[in-house]
Each structure stands twice: as structure tokens, then as C-alpha cells.
Structure 1
């Protein structure tokens, strides 16, 4: 696997966990209530999925060969993105800090 491929995997792991790491929308906009709901986290996760996909597509275009992608590719990569988000989800919702 090339360096660009490993970069995309690392970027996906980081961006998949970002919604669970802070209480701000897209790491910038604070909420008035101070807490971000699970629905906002899911929406943010979808936005980050498309951001990582755009970066990956740009790196693929820079390499010189764009391949046609069907719905199967997007379904599999979104499921993989959800798997990458599991550590952040676990720390945010399943670990009880005392």
C-alpha cells in the first residue's frame, strides 16, 4: 500500500473519532446548551465521511487514474468508517468515569 493509502486510513481513523472527542459542532461552533446530542454526532460523522472521501478522491486523481465507483464501494467504506468510530463511541457513551 502506498503512503497516500496509509494517509487516508489514518485520516479516516482520526476524523471518525472527532465527533466524540469534543462538544463543538465540526470542532468550531459551540452549542448553547454545552452538550452535543447523539444526532449531531451522527450528522457530523457523515460530514466527515464525505470530507475524507473527497481527500481520497483528490489523491487518486493526483495519481492519475480515477476508477468508477459504485454504491457498493460507498456502502463498504461507510461501514468501515463506522468501525473506525467505535473507540470514540465507546469512550463517550460506554465508559463511565467516576
Structure 2
């Protein structure tokens, strides 16, 4: 089982989970961009700096446009945070909330 590290006491719950999922998607995409052959060659040569450079090339790649395109191709909104904000769902559940304000900062 996998879990996302969440701090619902200071972040609104749903946007925090959306952001965490987006972070996982970005990290996964970057991991898939690692040039495995170049990394293996650097490791085999014992060249730590070259191995680091291979990893940093992938790490510094902006994968957000790719992920937005993949979401759109799947029929999803390319901007999950924007989609949530535009949905009005937060305002709806806030209005329906029983018992007043929940713990946290407007969670």
C-alpha cells in the first residue's frame, strides 16, 4: 500500500491531495526520462559526477506540459487544480458543512 504525506491541519484537504498526486505524476515522469544507458555507463565507470548529471538532466526537465497533454488526451482537464477551483465543489461542501468550521486553516 502507498500513502501520500498530507497535513490536513494547515492545507485544504482536497487541493492538498490533488497537489500531492500531481507531484507524484511529475516525479514519475521525470524518473521515466532518466537515460538508463548513460546512467549505467557512468556507474560502471565509477563516475559519480556523470551519473549525477544524468539524473539532474531528467530532474530539471519541465514535464508539466507533457502531463497536461496526457491528461487532455485522456479526456481530463489538463489543469487539475484549476478544474477543482472552477468546479465550485469547495464552496458547495463548505455550505453543506454541519457543525461550523472544521479544524485547520479553512480545511
Report the TM-score, using the length of structure 2 for normalisation: 0.33
The structure number with the bigger radius of gyration is 2
TM superposition score normalised by structure 1: 0.35
Name the structure where helix makes up a greater proportion of residues: 1
Task: Report which of the two has the higher share of strand.
Answer: 1
